[in-house]
Amino acid sequence: MKVTIKSWTGVATWRWIANDENCGICRMSFESTCPECALPGDDCPLVWGVCSHCFHMHCIVKWLNLQPLNKQCPMCRQSWKFNVH
């Protein structure tokens, strides 16, 4: 008797790797969404700054739009730049 694998379908979900539990702006868990969204995941993504702080994209964009001059990270006050991997 011999058993061999012919094909396999692996099922997985994914989660964010963030260095914090909650979004520093809306205080909602990264596992859930920003206050505007209903469905976590792709629809309400996280973004990282070069300062390594992480927020809901919707939250940080809103925040940056409220800063007329110096676009800074709300956590560390360094000027905000998106960290594009």
- List interacting residues with other proteins (CB under 8 A): 1-18, 31-33, 38-43, 46, 48, 54, 85
∠ CA 65-50-67, rounded to 5°: 15
Nearer to other proteins among residue 12 and residue 66 (C-beta):
12
Q: Which is nearer to other proteins, 36 or 67 (CB)?
A: 36
Q: Toward other proteins, which CB reaches closer, 1 or 69?
A: 1
- Least distance to other proteins, CB of residue 71, Å: 21
Sign of the dihedral defined by the CA atoms of residues 16, 50, 54, 35, in that order: negative
Helix (H, G, I), strand (E, B) or coil at 47: strand
Q: Token digits for 73?
A: 């990270």
| Residue partners of 77: CB distance under 8 A and separation at least 6 | none
Minimum separation from the CB atom of position 59 to other proteins (A): 15
